[in-house]
Structure 1
Amino acid sequence: MSASSTTAVLCLASASPRRRELLASIGVEVEVRPVDIDETPGDAESAAVYVARLARQKASAGARFSSLPVLGSDTAVVCDGVILGKPDDRQHAAAMLRTLSGRRHRVMTAVAVSGPAGMLEACVTTEVVMRDIAEHEIAAYWDTGEPADKAGGYAIQGLAAVFIERIEGSHSAVVGLPLFETATLLTRQGVPLWNRLGR
């Protein structure tokens, strides 16, 4: 569902409810216009380059359908240099959680905003340390339905919070949008913050 065009100050080129909620938390009302792009990593493409490219492509694609500034973003979970995307099925999710269990990994989130100032972008890396996860916990977690559409097979803001020993960096970036950097980009594009708070 899209926000009313009379109140929206930004176009969100994503169907992610988490990104919409994060933007709402800083008072930014959006119109939601998901875009369909090929998200296959390029040969030998690093995770940082990959997420930055997808964020730009989403913002550029969204700009074709909206007169508002457009935000695109992408998040990748990276362990041992391998990008862990959304799980294909239960077995895939379990394999990813076994890989992350008891270890440190990185979450990279890129954000790009197309608008009057051109294409502005930022990329944030957060270090995440997971405790050891037992097999029965992996199975029970899949059964909740939460991991099915999450990069790396987990949601830090959800039930998987009990698996997270600590993070170093931006919590909101792991959820899906680095709010400090995003607010800076939006301000440079003339997008007002806090405009829906307290009403």
Structure 2
Amino acid sequence: MVTSSCCVPGCAGTAADALAGVTLCATHVTLVTEFAAEHVGVEDALPGPCAVCGSRIGVRFPSGFVCARCEWRWGDVPDGDLAPPRVDVVYYLRMRDDFGDRVKIGTTTNPRQRLAAIPHQDLLAFERGDRSLERRRHTQFAATRYPGTEWFRATPELLAHIDAVAAGVEDPWDLHARWTSEALALRG
């Protein structure tokens, strides 16, 4: 077995291993590992707003930043000549008024515009899907539907479903931004 010296100038240590052709002693391997752990995947302010969602918070990696909200690589520019990607979502809105505690289950490809036109108090969740998923949800909760509308009584079963859909998501808009970013990235 051949032993070699650490490649760091002034270090007299014996190399523990040759990693990618670099021979380092155990002390320097530990220092590099600690440095990498401190500087990979650190949440930080982006150098400017995200081109996709406008967020200012990112995650810094050695290869660059990604947006913490939608995961778009900072510095990549979406093709402005292309139409925005189509991202179908089923939304769940909550309204408490004289008619009771109710939830609207609807679908849209433009949630900001659509939700601005609907009186509601809370956006509870987004679920990725189109009209077929919306119809399945309407059928699933048909027993609690207000006739002729897309509004449903806020039953424990419906709220449990919404909790399952929203599990792990603090802000539904962050999830929508990620889906939009993914659609942009897949488009090339």
TM-score category (smaller protein): under 0.3
TM-score (norm 1): 0.27
- The answer to which structure has the higher helix fraction is 1
